[in-house]
Structure 1
Amino acid sequence: MATALHPASAAAEPSWKHGVSYFGEFKYPPDFEHYDYVNPNAPKGGTLVLATDDNWNSFTPYLAKGNVPPGVQHLFSSQPFFYDGLFSASDDEIGSFYCNLCKEVMVSDDFTWVRFRLRQEARWHDGAPITSRDVRFTFEHLANNSGFNLQAAFGMVDSVEIHTDHEFTIHLNDKNGLNAGVIFSLGKIAILPEHYWLEHDNTKTTLTPPLGSGPYRVKEFKQSRYLIYERVPNYWGRNIGPHRGRHNFDIFRYEFYRDSTVAREAFRKGLIDYTMEGDPRYWYEGYDIPASDKGWLIKRKHTYQFYVGLLEGLVINQRRKHLQDIKVREALVLAFNYDWYHRVINQNIFIKPYSYFSPANFSAEGLPNEAELALLEPFRDGLPERLFTEPLQRPISSGRGHNRSALLKARNLLREAGWAIRDGVLTNADGEELTLSFVIQTAGQKRIILPYVDELSRLGFVPQIRMVESAQFVNLMRNFEFDFRFGQLGVAQPPGVEIVSYWDSKNAQLPNTRNLTGIESAAADEMVIRLMGARSKKELIASGKALDRVLLWNFGIIPLRAVEGPSVVYWDKFGRPPFDAEIRTSFPAAWWYDEKKAARIELIN
């Protein structure tokens, strides 16, 4: 199969390509000049000030301990700019990645190996060349020093075989299935400098900024206060297609704010340049200030389709004895008044999530089709019979008052599960009361759950809310000491190794696992393998829908908000391309500082 990975090319010999594509076609040719959605002549200069609530305490990437600052390693919604990865994603395509550190790539027909040729010009910030040894060091670091989630996600990497300084092969096992999504995941990892870390301890946290390779380097910082990145003028990749017209700001400054209300006020005063607003109350009314009337504040919706799934959900911890009964979990899901929540809390501005993969085309709908049934039938005995006979529907209400019909169904389920009301409290035959602990971190999260807690109390539960700071939250999560928590489950398009860490049974009991619900399901395990091993769009959709059904009928999460483009507000002192890329708005990479616009605003402030 050619590296383009198109199923129709299965008989072809592997060949060198300028990237990898799940669906077999590239929008951009080899040695393309620049992406269509950038301004290749964008001016360089200026400062962009952003707020962060990341309480970072280390610069060591991919370590089981410590928290790294923004920009150092790949995150759910952004690429690193301190380090480079093997691939670069274009913001106007789904399922295509282009060579970045690599010049060419070749993938075997069965995806068990992928061979890379590195760019000769790729350099670390000290001028040393980026070599195959750096790649091998990075994946060994992941295997030996990263957390359980990353180790599980990249457990398919058996070895990195070095051929020359600039050519190597990554050998993969197919324990969890192999497809193009796995290859994409390899390319997202920030490659680390072996020669630097041989003289430093990569098993420990550090507040010494390490050697990087990306378009920015650390200039100055004060932990829990601010972090300043400066553009690297002689960045090695500045003239190749994936980077021309990007990385235009001279300075990125991150200001640390523990409280979102304080950060919002700092933005209103002009101390922060750009913010993502996730609270509908403030989106509608929080920026009605004189600067907005003068046209100096811009509100807009950005595009984002690289990931699907849940931006926010209430996770039910089924490791807990009293939550292992699926009837109890279903009752908890029924008790949540979705339509009231979306009308009052979300004010109907966010996408309602009905799936673990909203809004992708592998979201489950209606009854299972023939292809899904073929996958699910071997596991029928371990799945709810209703999965095969009923479409799963969220409880519908007017969005006003209590959803009495849903509460009645929930009460009946609890009775069937052995919980009866005694003195107003759900109690089992052993006299145990059904208490629920909500572990949260912010006032915004408390605002979301208070109406839900009221509904649960009406059913006879005994809810308890614990608001904790970051260190305590981490310890509680490590020991699974919660019944409910908030969680995020973003899934790449096409799905990558993240789905292994989310839903594979082997990860359910690991400390700090990303298997938040603790699901241990043979059906889910098999669907994950099928999805990871899908070689065609038809197989991808069938296995994705089947996995979605298994998860939905497990009643492990109350979906609150689907992944979608952020609602943003910014001071109008930037230039940007005339149109947004179709898949992701290229902020901040493709924007630039406009001195005339900025001077106009600064004269008033």
Structure 2
Amino acid sequence: MRILAFLLALLIALPAAAEPRHGLAMHGALKYPAGFSHFDTVVPNAPKGGELKLADTDPFDSFNPYIAKGQAPDGIGLAYDSLMVPSDDEPFSMYGLVAESVETPPDRSWVIFTLRREARFHDGRGVTPEDVIFSLEILRTKGAPSYRFYYAGVERAEKIGERAVKFTFKPGDNREMPLILGELPILPKHYWQGRAFEETTLEPPLSSGPYRVAKFEPGRFVTYERVKDYWAKDLPVRKGQFNFDRVRYDVYRDSTVALEALKAGEYDIRPENEAKKWASGYQDWAALKDGRARKENFAHQRPAGMQGFAFNLRRPLFADIRVREALGLAFDFEWANRTLFSGQYTRTQSYFDNSELAARGLPDAAELKILEPLRGQVPDAVFTSEFHSPVTDGTGYARANLKRAVALLEAAGWQVVDGKLVDGAGQPFMFEVLLNSPAFERIALPWARNLARLGIAAKVRTVDSTQYVNRVRGHDFDVIVMSWGASLSPGNEQASYWTSQAAEQKGARNVGGIKNPAIDKLVDLVIAAPDRDQLVTRTRALDRVLLWNHYVVPQWHIPYDRVAFWDKFGMPKSVPMKGWQMHTWWMK
């Protein structure tokens, strides 16, 4: 009896066996059951045909989007498939594409993907486990730095059986890794062997996605053609999508020229990211007045992320938190919103604004349990105050805020001498705001004028895209305008955004060079969150610490997508939580 009881207890203690499934949710259950016919966010029988014409303002010089070198064209992702794809109406759930099924134990210490027999590249060769393993290894060793962070948790990858690949993860609590591996783009081993993956190329690489490169002129245009015999076109995860026969991107000098080209009928759809243009740039568009074109706000439920003036903390000038806070006080959002944006924007108050992940009020008991061990390593305000971006009266002078900024600068050892802010050695406070678009000059120049009232010489400089990318990758800047996207289920990408390990990696998203052990710890906790409630709590704690360190001067966001387009498209009736999806549209 004792032996029987022992064996029974042992069986109860063992984790439940992993079973092959059609999809995987980060937390909770999948919305779509096995055997579902299509996503609810598409029209499954949408007609195919026509050419979609779009605009790009960054000249391209390479077709490899997975390396740190060169500039890939917009739309190149249309050529590639991944093991799994997300739905647009769930926070983070993935469903099989190249992978027929996914299998992982309750502790998610490993994952097995079984590949579809029909999955193939554009040259007709089938996708194999060897291709999957090659894709992981080439991205980790020769791809952009972000991939090393993304896939750092993989201990080994091995082929098991004819069509299956098993990834075993390093010890630790990283429940997102099976989904991260699901996002792995599949690259053909037979094509890349003998080629320099890490170098730019204008030979369109072999791939397996719904489109392939048909025609192009470097720096001028690229046309993708729909693969008529695309192997996955009838799968539930692809039905109702990729409906245009051709997708063409023309390169324009800047966004102003591109807007005029839209109104002239040179291309079809323009997502608008400039408030001034949205408010007044379309008034002379005759097609809008007579109904041949439309302007629409498509509401979404995505976290806003963070856009702001980002400080390069590698520069001693920005090492003092008081200095960074003072510089933020000189940015007059209320004036900019009223004068430049026609009141369209909301000031960003969180790295996860517009979502339940954003920190609000004071830390609750669950957050304090996480933050208390970090007391002394994080700003005291994390525990005592709710973060609010500075507010002004909107006149453009920001007198009260500038007065507070003077006090902070003086406390940090700066003083005004002959109208210039200098340190104890008499060295002036001066820096450069580096831009890659003239559109942001009207934002940066008023900030620079307010900084001049403090005795600070801030020079605004706009450079071409190639120089800008190279300087940012090389950490050769003082301040840039930077944005970090946020998902409904933050995870491994946060390591590339904020951790000490990413700070010196060229091409990583930690452009500011943040090296903060407390943030490293909080990022680890976010990645290891065992359920949705814990994920929300840990993300809010991370949000507070990022905000109160004043690493950026927060700018603004809107809870909808602005899109102008010629009225010749059909589209699904509803917009999913992740926003409008252009490739579910079709030509009427």
SS in 2 for 1:314: strand
CA drift at 1:236: 0.5
**Alignment TM-score, normalising by the size of structure 2:** 0.94
- Counterpart for residue 571 of structure 1: 566
- Counterpart for residue 413 of structure 2: 418
- Structure 2 distance, partners of 1:325, 1:250, is 55
For the 8 Å contact 1:318–1:324, the answer to whether it is kept is: yes
- Structure 2 distance, partners of 1:278, 1:555, is 25
Q: Which amino acid aligns with 2:192?
A: W
SS in 2 for 1:566: strand
Judging changes above 3 Å, is the alpha-carbon distance between structure 1 residues 504 and 29 closer, same or farther for their aligned structure 2 residues? same
CA drift at 1:437: 1.1
- Structure 2 distance, partners of 1:393, 1:269, is 43
- Structure 2 distance, partners of 1:333, 1:554, is 12
Q: Which amino acid aligns with 2:586?
A: W
- Structure 1 distance, partners of 2:228, 2:507, is 39
- Counterpart for residue 66 of structure 1: 70
Q: Please identify, of 134-143 and 86-95, the stretch whose mean Cα deviation from structure 2 is larger.
A: 86-95
Q: Please identify, of 427-436 and 334-343, the stretch whose mean Cα deviation from structure 2 is larger.
A: 334-343
For the 8 Å contact 1:364–1:548, the answer to whether it is kept is: yes
For the 8 Å contact 1:22–1:95, the answer to whether it is kept is: yes
- Structure 2 distance, partners of 1:16, 1:352, is 45
CA drift at 1:443: 1.2
CA drift at 1:218: 1.0
- Structure 2 distance, partners of 1:569, 1:314, is 28
CA drift at 1:152: 2.2
- Structure 2 distance, partners of 1:534, 1:559, is 27
CA drift at 1:390: 1.8
Judging changes above 3 Å, is the alpha-carbon distance between structure 1 residues 302 and 531 closer, same or farther for their aligned structure 2 residues? same
For the 8 Å contact 2:332–2:392, the answer to whether it is kept is: yes
- Counterpart for residue 298 of structure 1: 294
- Structure 1 distance, partners of 2:135, 2:376, is 43
For the 8 Å contact 1:275–1:568, the answer to whether it is kept is: yes
CA drift at 1:308: 3.9
Superposition pairs of residues 126-145 of structure 1, within 5 angstroms: 126-145=123-142
- Structure 1 distance, partners of 2:457, 2:198, is 43
SS in 1 for 2:102: strand
- Structure 2 distance, partners of 1:525, 1:167, is 34
For the 8 Å contact 1:407–1:459, the answer to whether it is kept is: yes
Q: C-alpha deviations, 1:417-446, integer Å up to 9, x for none? A: 000110011111111111121111221111
- Counterpart for residue 213 of structure 1: 208
- Counterpart for residue 100 of structure 2: 103
Q: C-alpha deviations, 1:252-275, integer Å up to 9, x for none? A: 011011211111111010001000
Flag structure 2 segments of 5+ consecutive residues without an equivalent: 1-12
For the 8 Å contact 1:379–1:522, the answer to whether it is kept is: no
Judging changes above 3 Å, is the alpha-carbon distance between structure 1 residues 389 and 580 closer, same or farther for their aligned structure 2 residues? closer
- Counterpart for residue 328 of structure 1: 323
Q: Which amino acid aligns with 1:140?
A: E
- Structure 2 distance, partners of 1:316, 1:10, is 50
Q: How many residues are matched?
A: 575
Superposition pairs of residues 177-188 of structure 1, within 5 angstroms: 177-180=173-176, 182-188=177-183
For the 8 Å contact 2:18–2:104, the answer to whether it is kept is: yes
- Counterpart for residue 82 of structure 1: 79
- Structure 2 distance, partners of 1:305, 1:18, is 26
For the 8 Å contact 2:59–2:71, the answer to whether it is kept is: yes
CA drift at 1:472: 2.1
- Counterpart for residue 601 of structure 1: none
Q: Which amino acid aligns with 1:531?
A: V
- Structure 1 distance, partners of 2:456, 2:119, is 60
Q: C-alpha deviations, 1:487-540, integer Å up to 9, x for none? A: 110122201321100001111122233112211111100000000000112211
SS in 2 for 1:381: coil
For the 8 Å contact 1:376–1:523, the answer to whether it is kept is: no
- Counterpart for residue 586 of structure 2: 592
Aligned pair 1:18/2:22, yes or no? yes
Superposition RMSD on alpha carbons, in Å? 1.8
Aligned pair 1:539/2:534, yes or no? yes
Q: Which amino acid aligns with 2:289?
A: D
Judging changes above 3 Å, is the alpha-carbon distance between structure 1 residues 358 and 164 closer, same or farther for their aligned structure 2 residues? same
Flag structure 1 segments of 5+ consecutive residues without an equivalent: 1-8, 73-79, 595-605
Q: Which amino acid aligns with 1:22?
A: M
CA drift at 1:213: 0.6
Superposition pairs of residues 66-465 of structure 1, within 5 angstroms: 66-72=70-76, 80-174=77-171, 177-180=173-176, 182-288=177-283, 289-305=285-301, 308-310=304-306, 312-465=307-460
CA drift at 1:215: 0.8
Q: Which amino acid aligns with 2:162?
A: D
- Structure 1 distance, partners of 2:515, 2:72, is 30
Q: 2:31 aligns with which of 20, 27, 30?
A: 27
CA drift at 1:482: 2.1
Q: Which amino acid aligns with 1:105?
A: V
SS in 1 for 2:440: helix
CA drift at 1:562: 3.2
Q: C-alpha deviations, 1:347-368, integer Å up to 9, x for none? A: 2223321001112212111211
Q: Which amino acid aligns with 1:69?
A: P
**Alignment TM-score, normalising by the size of structure 1:** 0.92
CA drift at 1:46: 0.4
For the 8 Å contact 1:185–1:496, the answer to whether it is kept is: no
- Counterpart for residue 5 of structure 2: none
